[in-house]
């Protein structure tokens, strides 16, 4: 599966504990990454400062569903299931 351009669910819905340029403490779930452009593209895609967790994500139906909204719903659920403090 190819990542849906402009979806950005994985850049918003999930928490990222790794430092991100401009967000040195990572980001909380539901917070938009500062590296997202206005059209929901990663401005540091392919850049060496991009966190490994981000470059390691691979689009799949299980994670992304069939629509952007399904991706947000699935990732929100995954965040809640894996983060006891959520």
| 6-65 per-position pLDDT tens digit | 999 999 999 999 999 999 999 999 999 999 999 999 999 999 999 999 999 999 999 999
Residue 4 lies in a domain: no
Residue 40 lies in a domain: yes
How many domains in the chain? Answer: 1
pTM of the model: 0.89
Under DSSP, is residue 42 helix (H, G, I), strand (E, B) or coil?
A: strand
Under DSSP, is residue 16 helix (H, G, I), strand (E, B) or coil?
A: strand
| 45-58 per-position pLDDT tens digit | 999 999 999 999 99
Q: What is the rounded CA–CA span in Å between residue 34 and residue 44? A: 10
Residue 12 backbone phi and psi in degrees, to 5: -125, -50
Residue 54 lies in a domain: yes
Residue 33 backbone phi and psi in degrees, to 5: -65, 135
Closest-CA residue to 16 (of 34, 39, 40, 43): 34
């Amino acid at each position: 599966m190819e990542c849906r351009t402009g979806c950005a669910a994985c850049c918003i819905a999930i928490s990222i504990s790794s430092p991100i340029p401009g967000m040195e403490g990572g980001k909380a779930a539901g917070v938009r990454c500062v590296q997202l452009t206005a059209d929901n593209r990663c401005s540091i895609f392919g850049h060496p400062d991009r966190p490994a967790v981000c470059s390691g994500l691979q689009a799949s139906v299980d994670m992304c569903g069939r629509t952007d909204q399904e991706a947000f719903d699935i990732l929100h659920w995954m965040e809640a299931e894996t983060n006891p403090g959520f």
